[in-house]
Copies of this chain bind each other. A is one copy, B any other.
Amino acid sequence: MSKSKTTFKISKENNFSEWYTEILNAAEVTDIRYGVKGFIVIRPWGAMILDKMFKIYESAMKRTGHEPAYFPTVIPEENFKKEAGHVKGFTPEVFWIESKKGEERLALRPTSETAFYQMYNLWIRSYRDLPLKMYQKGSIFRSETKATRPLIRGREFQWIESHNCFATKKEAEDQVKDDIDMTESVLHKIFAVPFLPMRRPDWDKFPGAEYTVGSDTIMPDGRVLQLPSTHMLGQNFSKAFNVRYTDEKENEKFVWQTCYGPGMSRMMASIIGSHGDDKGLILPYTLSPIQVIITPMHSQKKDKEIKKLAEELNETFFEEHIDAKIDHSNKRPGEKYFFWEMKGVPFRVEIGEKELEKKVVTLSIRDLDEKRKVKIKDLIEEIKNLGAEFDARLIAKSDEEFKSKIVSCKTKDEIKKELSSKKIAKFNFCSTQENGKICAEFIEKELQARVMGTNERNNEKPSGKCLFCGEKATAIVYAGKSY
């Protein structure tokens, strides 16, 4: 096992699928050998990344006025049936629990609208109780029939879901925009994963929603991956669950609702897929469980002093809230380097006789594959600056790649060509209302691609005709291949 770890080398560009499978294993992010289809173990290296992601996302939730809650993992069958679109959309995916004698049948939550909203019915009375913004973190369960893939599509995955209620439609629509902004500020600006905010076509919205805005990124193999989605629920659920409030003039009204579901497992997949290279993972400085690995060199004369310096640096990093660790193992230096590079650690601090003498360290930067000398007295400040630069560089690189992968197309042939070159195609389309579904189905069948939707951020105006049916185009849509 340790042999394969020191020699990780797979071409990410040519064999992304193999690269992805192997790096999850080599870096001990996940283990797929749990023995139940679609259920995997997230190992410590993955768990620590995930914990940092959760912490950042929860802090974003709180900053924007959301409060945490813990709802049961189970949902009574009766609740589940209350909103017609919702039950139709989710029932095929539900895991049911064998009923205890005389008790109701329970679902393992595939999402928690029908858990939250029965309580909102009890908690909301007056306009003073609004807005109500609440979230929970945890795992949800969907009995996928498609092929599963670790962190990308599973039958249990980690997420956050927020469920908000407002007095007016306007506030709810603003929340949808705020949710997209949160995706931008966390997923893009911290996790360094660019995305397209896609207003889904009507046939692809969340079951029970008025409309849905998904966030799509593209993986190196050209597959589109859906990341956090936000949903304008309108009053569909508030009517089904009778969630009303009394306004200032004593009128009873149904609340307006939104929900938002940042899927942590998938975002982790996108971070791993976007940033790694042939040598293994590259983790954003902000997310890496170890931000600085310290590798003391063996020395015949100065072993003790070198170890002491390593301990001192480690302690200083701790005090400065930088996650560091000393590699005390008796591996050869080269082995240590390969190992921590493969794990995606942003910075390596090497200390040997020369460094000790000159009061410097040799600092190695993972993504640049570059070494530089840094004075020990400047180390903390340097790491902090370089850490910010590291993440900014990841964002810039991802943005550039992402931009190059979105291509405007004027003909069906162009679309076909771009899709098979691992790109997202952008083109004139008849309609994202129900009447556009025929063209979308054609695209799915002929090009094995999915119409992702229209860009919610830019108001892109079509001119001309739908490239498929020849009707007047009412939308510019994006399409890509998905897993």
Contacts and interface: CB of A to CB of B under 8 A. Distances in A.
Interface string A25-65: 00000010111110111111011101100000000000000
A35 B103 contact: no
Nearest to A157: B70
Nearest to A66: B44
A119 B31 contact: yes
Interface of A: 1, 31, 33-37, 39-44, 46-48, 50-51, 67-74, 76, 79, 95-98, 100, 103-104, 106, 108, 115, 118-119, 122-123, 125, 134, 136, 138-139, 141, 143, 156, 158
Contacts of A48: 67-68
A134 B95 CA distance: 28
Contacts of A71: 34, 41-42
A335 B35 CA distance: 57
A70 B42 contact: yes
Contacts of A67: 44, 47-48
Contacts of A103: 36-37
Contacts of A123: 31
B72 A44 contact: no
A330 to B, nearest CB: 10
A33 B70 contact: no
Given A98-B96, A134-B44, A34 B72 contact: yes
Contacts of A31: 119, 122-123
A35 B118 contact: yes
Contact of A41 (B41, B69, B158): B69
Given A1-B125, A95-B98, A47 B33 contact: no
B69 A44 contact: yes
Contact of A141 (B40, B47, B73): B73
A138 B108 CA distance: 15
Contact of A47 (B70, B76, B108): B70
Contacts of A74: 36, 39, 156
A36 B95 contact: no
Most buried by B among A72, A97, A100: A72
A114 to B, nearest CB: 11
